[in-house]
Structure 1
Amino acid sequence: MKLIGSLTSPFVRKIRILLAEENIPYEFLLDDVWGTDSNVAQYNPLGQVPCLIFDSGYTLYDSSVIEDYLEEITPLHAPYNSTARLEVKKWAALTGGLTEAAIKIRMEQLRPADKQMQSWIDRQQLKIDRGLVVLEEQLTHHLWCANNAYSVADVAVVCFLNWLDFRLPEIDWRNAHPNLVKLSDYLNAQAAYSETLPRLA
């Protein structure tokens, strides 16, 4: 099994953490989707990572689809109960949306200053601000994001928070969200997390 991805993508990191925690061996293939020599479009016509390639040549893409597959073969991060599973999916979906908003800010900031649309950045920032408040409140009375049990929702949250630290350090989420800080610091002490912190190649 091979995983195509980057060292910076929060979506790739999420899958790397799940694979590590589920003790599933794989080969990690680095690919810069923005580079002229990127090969990822061979496996995902959207040109996005992560992509999971099976020995048979069959491929899966989109981190949420890969998550579902991993939970089917080694169910460690999602409950069997359908209601509880929906709770996990809800919080993971929120965090996925927040991650997308953060990436949109980053992409806009990479444009020339006179071409950037501040109203677009502000719109994405508002999503992030609201989402951080909701996540913080959820963790006020719970150790974990969903069902008071560790799940892929917690993986997604920490990947999002650490990507903010990496790419958008001007967003000071730590100051007003002590419960999120506690979750991030606790999980980042685990090898699956510390060994996959976002970094440049």
Structure 2
Amino acid sequence: MKLVGMLDSPYVRRVAISLELYGVDFVHESLSVFSTYAEFSAINPVVKAPTLVLDDGTVLMDSSLILDYFESLAPTDKKLLPHNASARAKDLQLLGLALAACEKTVQIVYEQNLRPAEKLHEPWIDRVSGQLLAAYSLLEKHLAQPASEPLSQASLSIAVAWSFTQLKLPTVLRPEAFPNLQRHTRLLEQHPTFRKYPIE
């Protein structure tokens, strides 16, 4: 089984960490959707990271769809989402905020790095930055009460998202304004699985 994509993508990284926690045996192939486009395209013509090639050759893409597949296969003691419907809804709410933060970070990075400076659209950046702030503010409020079980799909994705935003947009959100996110992420980044798949 092969996971394709670079660990500077929060989507690739959350899949790598989750697969390790599920106990899935896989090989990570660090290909870029930019610098190794042709090589990536040969594996998945859509060139979407993460891409996961199953043992039978089936190609899965999109981190949430990949993880939904493995969550369904995981034994009870390795599942990363609650079975109870109410608890699951709460985790999915947090997961949605974490993924929204990833998405808004990517949009700002692409706007700043890929669009010519003379074509930057400041109202769009302001809007997306506001959405990013809203997502992390809600997560910060939730994390005021530390979770008893830190390694759920929601909690690990929150940490992956915050590390990604701090790496890519260090001046957009002041870390000292988010002490709960800082504490949560610092704790999880020390976990052996996070250390095995560090952000690139």
Superposition RMSD in Å: 1.9
Deviations 1:178-197 (A, max 9, x none): 11111001001111112322
Please say if residues 11 and 50 of structure 2, whose CA atoms lie closer than 8 Å, have aligned partners that are also in contact: yes
Q: Tell me the amino acid that sits aligned with residue 72 of structure 1.
A: S
Using the TM superposition, give the Cα deviation of residue 36 of structure 1 relative to its aligned residue in structure 2, in angstroms. Answer: 5.6
Q: Supply the AA of the counterpart residue of 2:131.
A: K
What residue number does 2:14 align with? 14
Q: Higher helix share goes to which structure? A: 2
Q: Classify the secondary structure of the residue corresponding to 1:60.
A: strand
Q: How does 1:31-180 map to 2 (within 5 A)?
A: 31-35=31-35, 37-74=37-74, 75-110=78-113, 111-140=115-144, 142-144=145-147, 150-180=151-181
Whether contact under 8 Å (2:150, 2:156) holds in the other structure is no
Listed one character per residue, the Cα deviations across residues 77-135 of structure 1 (whole Å, up to 9, x for unaligned) are 11111222222122111211111111000001012221111111111110111111111
CA deviation after TM superposition for structure 1 residue 14, in Å? 0.2
Quote the offset at 1:52 in angstroms: 1.1
Amino acid at match of 1:192: T
Separation in 2 of the partners of 1:169 and 1:66? 29
Consecutive unaligned residues in structure 2, runs of 5 or more: none
Deviation of 1:8 (Å):
0.9
TM-score normalised according to structure 2 size: 0.90
Distance 1:105 1:37, change over 3 A: closer
Relative to 1, partners in 2 of residues 1:54 and 1:89: Cα closer, same or farther, differing over 3 Å?
same
Is the CA contact 2:108–2:125 (under 8 Å) kept in the aligned structure 1? yes
Q: Which residue of 2 aligns with 1:24?
A: 24
Give runs of ≥4 in structure 1 deviating > 6 Å: none
The offset of 1:54, in angstroms, is 1.0
Contact preservation (8 Å) 1:40, 1:49 = no
Confirm or deny: 8 A CA contact 2:97 2:139 kept in the other structure: no
Does the 8 Å contact 1:91/1:153 carry over to 2? yes
Structure-1 separation of matches of 2:190 and 2:86: 30
- Which residue identity does 1:53 align to in structure 2? V
User: What percentage of residue pairs aligned between the two structures are identical?
Assistant: 29
Contact in 2 for aligned 1:16/1:196 (Cα 8 Å)? yes
Return closer, same or farther for 1:70/1:105 CA change in 2, 3 Å cut-off: same
Number of residue pairs matched? 196
Equivalent residues of 1:161, 1:184 under 8 A apart: yes
Once residues 159 and 36 of structure 2 are traced to their aligned partners in structure 1, the CA distance between those partners, rounded to angstroms, is: 31
Q: CA deviation at 1:45?
A: 4.8
SS at match of 1:171: coil
Preserved CA contact (<8 Å) 2:14 2:160: yes
The 2-side partners of 1:43 and 1:85 are apart by 34
